[in-house]
């Protein structure tokens, strides 16, 4: 497995207790990474389909959980998907910057969810 796939596994393990939407997002990214693991599958159509599925999952998460980060992630994934259909590589090559921003945003949300979870456990132990 690639380092990205291991990062997705870490994201799943860190979020499974407190944030199901983040867990679902990382499961989708893990499946996308596993789908593109073979060097023979780097066809622009397959990459476009994978990013379209990521966009659909993130858009659904944005609607269901009402978090802006999923709409931003869905928009970026949709743009990369359309770009791959046009056989361009500008966004895909520079995706690391957008991915770093979204990952930082998710880490902040995850830290707040863990803090809320810890506070609720502390309050329940006092009762």
Residue 88 makes CB contacts below 8 A (sequence gap 6+) with none
Q: Over the chain, what is the mean pLDDT? A: 88
* Residue 17 DSSP symbol: T
In tens, the pLDDT along 8-31 reads 999 999 999 999 999 999 999 999
* Residue 16 DSSP symbol: T
At residue 6, does pLDDT exceed 60?
A: yes
Residues spanned by the domain of 64: 3-126
Task: Count structural domains, the chain.
Answer: 1
* Residue 38 DSSP symbol: S
At residue 38, does pLDDT exceed 80?
A: no
The pLDDT, as a whole number, for residue 4 is 86
């Amino acid at each position: 497995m690639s380092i990205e796939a291991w990062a997705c596994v870490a994201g799943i393990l860190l979020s499974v207790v407190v944030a199901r939407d983040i867990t679902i997002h990382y499961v989708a990214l893990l499946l996308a990474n596993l789908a593109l693991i073979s060097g023979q599958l780097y066809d622009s159509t397959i990459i476009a389909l994978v990013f379209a599925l990521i966009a659909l999952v993130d858009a659904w998460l944005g609607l269901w959980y009402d978090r802006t980060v999923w709409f931003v992630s869905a928009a970026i994934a949709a743009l990369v998907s359309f770009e791959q259909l046009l056989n361009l590589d500008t966004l895909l090559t520079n995706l690391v910057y957008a991915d770093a921003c979204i990952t930082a945003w998710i880490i902040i949300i995850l830290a707040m969810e863990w803090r809320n979870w810890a506070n609720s456990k502390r309050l329940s132990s006092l009762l």
